[in-house]
Amino acid sequence: DLLSLSRIELAAHVRPETPVELVPIVRQVVDALQMLARDRGVTVTIKAPKQPLIVSGDRDELTRVFENLIENALKYGASGKRVEIALSRAFNVGGGEEALVAVRDYGPGIPAEHLPRLTERFYRVDPARSREGGGTGIGLAIARSIVEAHGGVIRVSSEEGRGSQFMFDLAFVDGREE
């Protein structure tokens, strides 16, 4: 994981540019995590528009972002019993079209003082509990590097006791800003 983080950071100035359809990736990741979801008693739903959401990027890297965020929601937010993934299309202020992704859980949330450091490598809110879950604390650092290498931004909003939402945006292949 550390090696792949360095690789992604080194390559951050080279924007990955193959057309990637997002919804099939999300379905594939959710299928792969279905066992974990069942174990934790969590129902996962995917909300997406009917038209394909095709962004410019690297399929494997984007898959890792979804894996990290959805696995986190299942592991740390399981008490909320449901995880919702929402994909939509939006315009940015420059007139370019983009895809917006949100992964939301209804678990314990993340105390505000931790949010600024959450995407640092090895940062864990509750190291004892994360260790039980097998986490190394690098998933969000990788996710952030990948999203930023794609020209997007990753955002977190969380309210203690109510859950967390991780969001990011990705430019469309035919975005006018290109």
Residue 68 or 145 having the CB closest to ligand ATP: 68
Rounded to a whole number of angstroms, the minimum distance from the CB of residue 87 to Mg ion is 20
Rounded to a whole number of angstroms, the minimum distance from the CB of residue 130 to ligand ATP is 4
Work out which of 78, 118, 146, 170 binds ligand ATP, going by CB under 6 A. 118
Q: Which does 80 bind (CB under 5 to 8 A by kind): Mg ion, ligand ATP, none?
A: none
Q: Does residue 158 bind Mg ion (CB under 5 A)?
A: no
User: Longest C-alpha distance within the chain, in Å?
Assistant: 47
- Residue among 60, 147, 133 nearest 103 (CA): 147
Residue located via tokens 């038209």: 51
Q: Does residue 72 bind Mg ion (CB under 5 A)?
A: yes
Q: Mutual orientation of helices 139-149 and 59-76 as an angle, nearest 10°?
A: 140
Q: Burial, 59: exposed, middle or buried (Cβ in 10 Å; 0-12, 13-18, 19+)?
A: middle
- Residue among 78, 104, 101, 103 nearest 90 (CA): 101
Work out which of 70, 140, 167, 170 binds ligand ATP, going by CB under 6 A. 140
Length of the chain: 178
Residue 73 or 101 having the CB closest to ligand ATP: 73
Rounded to a whole number of angstroms, the minimum distance from the CB of residue 89 to ligand ATP is 24
**Binding region for Mg ion (CB under 5 A) out of 8-16, 45-53, 137-145, 163-171:** 137-145
Rounded to a whole number of angstroms, the minimum distance from the CB of residue 59 to ligand ATP is 20
8, 146 in Cβ contact below 8 A? yes
Work out which of 16, 57, 77, 80 binds ligand ATP, going by CB under 6 A. 77
Q: Distance between CA 77 and CA 164 in Å, rounded? A: 8
The angle subtended at Cα 120 by Cα 134 and Cα 73, nearest 5°, is 50
Which residues form the interface with ligand ATP (CB under 6 A)? 68, 72-73, 76-77, 105, 107, 110, 118, 123-126, 130, 135-141, 164
Which residues form the interface with Mg ion (CB under 5 A)? 72, 139
